[in-house]
């Protein structure tokens, strides 16, 4: 009896162990389901990108037809408008080429300034010598001794008269002066032709104007692009190296 009473509780212990195992399996299954549900809720699945198959290189593309736009062969023909005035056309007027003017459009080959100054200095020495000879003769004949200021004024006036007479007679009637000959210069027109007596007379008178303006007409040589004076521009003549 004692042995039977000790072995009787064994079946209940096995049943409890089995029940405990089932409960543990159920709890484990529930936990696994919850975890899988949470993990699956956070995963974002993107659709796979579809890439069309690459066409072979030796295959032509399919033609594209646009019913709204006309094809090249179906484009309407553009008819040109009839000419105005019944087909009479007006040709543009022929404009002759503008001739370039020497001294204005074409630079002049004028003589160097140093040679012109040399010619003027030679002529000035001749005029000064003539003025000194005239004054010495006048001094001997009259024996008058005016004040120094009057002597300076008379000398300046006499030199101006002699210079004007010298330039007029020699340039107008001979076309040159001793100074121009020694400096190898000659008077010529802008177009290269020789000057006549009338043109030389106008040049001498224009040179008087250049001198009467306090020498500004001669000083213009430093501003002119061709190194010419007023009387050169007025008469279209200039001093060129003798050929």
Pair 131, 166: CB distance under 8 Å: no
Q: Kindly state the tokens that stand for 171.
A: 């340039």
243 pLDDT higher than 80: no
Distance CA 153, CA 161 (A): 12
Residues in Cβ contact with 126 at an 8 Å cutoff, skipping those fewer than 6 apart: 166, 178, 179
Banded model confidence at residue 93, pLDDT cuts 50, 70, 90: low
pTM of the model: 0.54
The pLDDT of residue 137 is: 86
Distance CA 49, CA 60 (A): 26
Q: Please state which of the ranges 79-83, 116-120, 144-148, 154-158 shows the lowest mean pLDDT.
A: 79-83
Pair 103, 226: CB distance under 8 Å: yes
Four-point Cα dihedral 201, 205, 207, 211, nearest 10: 160
Distance CA 77, CA 101 (A): 55
Distance CA 103, CA 174 (A): 25
Q: For residue 212, give the nearest of 152, 174, 163 by alpha carbon.
A: 163
- Give the start-to-end residue ranges of the domains of the chain: 113-241
Residues 59-91: tens digit of each pLDDT: 666 665 555 665 555 556 777 776 666 656 666
Residue 92: φ, ψ to 5°: -65, 145
215 pLDDT higher than 50: yes
């Amino acid at each position: 009896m004692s042995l039977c009473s000790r072995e009787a509780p064994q079946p209940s212990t096995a049943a409890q162990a089995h029940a405990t195992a089932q409960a543990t399996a159920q709890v484990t299954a529930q936990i696994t389901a919850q975890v899988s549900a949470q993990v699956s809720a956070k995963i974002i699945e993107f659709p796979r990108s579809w890439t069309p198959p690459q066409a072979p290189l030796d295959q032509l593309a399919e033609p594209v037809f646009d019913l709204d736009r006309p094809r090249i062969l179906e484009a309407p023909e553009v008819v040109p408008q009839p000419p105005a005035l019944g087909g009479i056309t007006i040709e543009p007027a022929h404009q002759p080429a503008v001739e370039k003017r020497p001294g204005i459009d074409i630079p002049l080959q004028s003589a160097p300034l140093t040679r012109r100054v040399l010619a003027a200095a030679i002529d000035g020495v001749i005029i000064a010598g003539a003025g000194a000879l005239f004054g010495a003769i006048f001094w001997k004949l009259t024996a008058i001794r005016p004040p120094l200021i009057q002597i300076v004024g008379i000398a300046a006036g006499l030199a101006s008269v002699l210079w004007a007479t010298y330039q007029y007679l020699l340039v107008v009637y001979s076309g040159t002066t001793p100074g121009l000959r020694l400096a190898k210069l000659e008077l010529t027109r802008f177009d290269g032709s020789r000057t006549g007596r009338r043109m030389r007379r106008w040049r001498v008178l224009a040179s008087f104007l250049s001198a009467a303006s306090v020498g500004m007409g001669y000083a213009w040589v430093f501003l002119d692009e061709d190194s010419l004076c007023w009387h050169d521009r007025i008469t279209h003549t200039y001093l060129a190296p003798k050929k």
